[in-house]
Structure 1
Amino acid sequence: MSDRVIARTVGVLFIVGTVTAIVGGSLVLAIAEPGALGAVAADHGRVVTGVLLELVLALSVLGIGALLFPVLRRRDEGLALAYAGVRTLEAVFLMVAAAAALVFLASGPGTPAGGAAARAPGLVLAVREWSYLVGSQVLLGVGGLILYSLLFRAALVPAWLSLWGLLAAALILLRGVLEVYGLQLPGAWQAVLAAPIAVNEMVLAVWLIVRGFDAGGARASGGVRR
């Protein structure tokens, strides 16, 4: 694949990933609410749709890591491998979260009361929450720091876009770490820490689709194929 085709494909995958993360996450969110089993049983299709969208998100994440590797390795092969590895881990955690949501659906109102069977939905929900937290925030932030540091050093996109991405990745990583340690942030602060990376990825996506990688930066990193 030429660098131009890679850029356009990655741009599309960033858009697909962001849209499926927002829509899919909102559809599956109902399972975290009190009395979720009864509510979910009444709206089974909505949750299944959300899970399918989250699986598309995971595949998009895998695709981005794989497609960017040959471009990024020209600048720093070690960091390029690290980025691909982090994005693979992110996809795995997202898939585990999606699978846990499906298992939760199977723990419907017909689940026997008492004992381990009664505790199972709570355990599955905990797996879902932790997997999604680590994948969608912590690993997203780590991957973003690696990606934008490479993009900045290689001058593959404008410096302002890379610096914005570094700041946005640091903010979502901060939110993830705080929540991993049990700090429940108000909704407004959650939005403040998450919005910059979402908007940044959309701007990066449009840039890659319309302009591609900067030719001068790509040549300095070892050549560009248009």
Structure 2
Amino acid sequence: MSDQVIARTVGVLFIVGTVTAIVGGSMVLAIEHPGALAAVAADHSRVVTGVLLELVLALSVLGIGALLFPVLRRRDEGLALAYAGVRTLEAVLLMAASVAALVFLASGPGARAVGAVSRAPALVLALREWTYLSGSMVLLGVGGLLLYSLLFRASLVPAWLSLWGLVAAALILLRGVLELAGLDLPGGWQAVLAAPIAVNEMVLAVWLIVRGFDVSGAGVSRVLRR
């Protein structure tokens, strides 16, 4: 595959990943709130659909890391390998979170009824929470910092897009660390910390699909580094 074909394919995968993360995550979120178990029982297929979308998300993350590796390794093999590794681990954690959601639903006859949260294994829910937060926020942020550092240094996309990505990745990483530490962030702050990376990935996706990589190496970031 040429670099430009890879760019367009990765752009599509970024869109698939963002859409499935938002839609799938919102569908599965109900299992984490005891008050919503009645709704989950009434629409069990909704949660299963959300899990399937999360699995698509994990596969898209894996695909992005694998496809970008040959392009990025020509700029910095060490960072490229680190990025591919982080994205692989992120995909594994997202798959584990999805499986945990299915295990919770299938944990017993009462798992689909009101009050089932008290009978379902607490460790399964804890596994779901920790793996999803670690994958969808912490490793997403770490991977974003690696990716946009490489894109900026190699001038593969405009400097403003890379710099935006670095800030957005730092914000989602901060949110993930805070939530893993047990801090219950208000909804407004959650949105403030998560929205920049979601919008940035959509802009990056469109840019890669329409323009591809700047393989000439004459990008704006090279000018800024002088």
- Same fold? TM cut 0.5: yes
Aligned residue for 1:62? 62
Instruction: Quote the offset at 1:161 in angstroms.
Output: 0.2
Cα offset, 1:109, TM superposition: 4.5
Give, in whole Å, the separation in 2 of the partners of 1:96 and 1:73. Answer: 28
Cα displacement (A) at 1:122: 2.1
- Aligned partner of 2:100: which letter? A
| Native 8 Å contact 1:37 1:108 kept in 2 | no
Aligned to 2:202: 202
Q: What letter matches 1:6 in structure 2? A: I
Over the aligned positions, Cα root-mean-square deviation in angstroms equals: 1.7
Q: Which residue of 1 aligns with 2:170?
A: 170
1:123 deviation in Å? 1.7
Tell me, yes or no, if the aligned pair for 1:164 and 1:200 is still in contact at 8 Å: yes
Which residue identity does 1:127 align to in structure 2?
A: L
Is the Cα–Cα contact under 8 Å of residues 93 and 131 in structure 1 kept in the other structure?
Answer: yes
Please list every run of 5 or more consecutive structure 2 residues that lacks an aligned counterpart in the other structure: 112-116, 220-226
Is the Cα contact below 8 Å between 1:65 and 1:84 reproduced in 2? yes
CA distance in 1 between partners of 2:28 and 2:8 (Å): 30
8 Å contact from structure 1 (residues 38, 109) kept in 2 = no
Aligned length: 214
The answer for the alignment partner of 2:223 in structure 1 is none
Contact in 2 for aligned 1:41/1:108 (Cα 8 Å): no
Q: Given the superposition, is the C-alpha separation of residues 10 and 127 from structure 1 closer, same or farther in structure 2, using an over 3 Å criterion?
A: same
1:40, CA displacement in angstroms? 2.0
CA contact (8 A) 2:172 2:194 kept: yes
Residue 47 (structure 2) pairs with residue 47 (structure 1): yes
Q: Which residue of 2 aligns with 1:155?
A: 155
Change (3 A) 1:118 1:189: closer
Query: Is 2:179 the partner of 1:179?
Result: yes
- 1:87 is aligned to 2:70: no
> Which residue of the partner structure matches residue 15 of structure 2?
15
- 1:17-67 CA distance string (max 9 Å, x none): 000000000010110111454432221100000000000000000000000
Query: Amino acid of the residue matched to residue 134 of structure 2?
Result: V
SS in 2 for 1:110: helix
TM-score when normalising by structure 2: 0.91
Give the corresponding residue for 1:5: 5
Letter in 1 for 2:33: E
Identity %: 87
- TM-score, length basis structure 1: 0.91
| CA deviation vs aligned residue, 1:71-104 (integer Å, no higher than 9, x gap) | 0001100000000000000000000000000001
Note if contact 2:17-2:56 (Cα within 8 Å) is conserved in structure 1. Answer: yes
In 2: Cα distance, 1:185 partner to 1:95 partner: 25
